[in-house]
Amino acid sequence: MNQPIGNLRTLVLNADMQPLSWAPLSVWNWQDAFVAVHQDRVIQVKTYDDVTVRSATSEFEIPAVIALKNYRKRRNVAFTRYHVFLRDEFRCQYCGVRLPAKDLTFDHVVPRSKGGRSEWTNIVASCSADNLRKANRTPAQANMRLMREPFRPTGYQLDASARRLPFPVGELHQTWMDFLYWDSELDG
Ligand SMILES: [Zn+2]
């Protein structure tokens, strides 16, 4: 082997050749993927060009992309902070500005003090300024308007949101790109 392989990861596709999940992106460490390939549990789609692992007698390729043999249905989406941001595409739902997660807050549309619950249909991403401005009021009382009514997203909807976000491309191996991008606007 001619480069450190400890940190290599393997992109995991569903049987339809789409990533098993987009958010977070479905990746395994290569060792798990390697074992799954050699136990014939998954299909090896691509290997890393320039990396191999040796045993005493053989040399093996490292899987860069694998696919499940059977289609795995998406599970219900967990109600997490990250998923709320993702549903809202990291945009303040009042003014529409897109911000990194660290600069976004959560707004209870109907404030907790007025009986609003912490659930999909009552929580939206909000910039700090709008959160402060709205304070302890409903949007109507604050004379503010939601861009979109909050909803419980399906896995498919979250995937669609994730695909619209700019990726941290530096973290992705070139080999994966064919499976992540299909439109030409991402050439840069
Ligand atoms: Zn805002």
Q: Estimate to the nearest angstrom the gap between the alpha carbon of 145 and the chain centroid.
A: 28
Give this prediction's pTM: 0.66
Is the pLDDT at 65 greater than 50? The verdict is yes
CA 101 – ligand 1 centroid, Å? 13
pLDDT of residue 181: 58
Are 67 and 42 within 8 A, CB to CB? yes
Is the pLDDT at 165 greater than 50? The verdict is yes
CA 114 – ligand 1 centroid, Å? 22
pLDDT greater at residue 37 or residue 78: 37
Whether 85 and 65 map to the same domain: the answer is no
User: What CATH number does residue 123 fall under?
Assistant: 1.10.30.50
What integer is the mean pLDDT of 96-105?
A: 89
Mean pLDDT of all residues in the chain? Answer: 85
Whether 119 and 99 map to the same domain: the answer is yes
CA 146 – ligand 1 centroid, Å? 10
d(CA 109, CA 62): 49
CA 47 – ligand 1 centroid, Å? 44
pLDDT of residue 188: 33
Work out how many domains the chain is built from and give that number.
2
Going by C-alpha positions, the residue among 99, 119, 101 that lies closest to residue 109 is 119
Q: Which amino acid, one-letter code, is at 158?
A: L
Look at residue 3 and tell me if it is in a domain: no
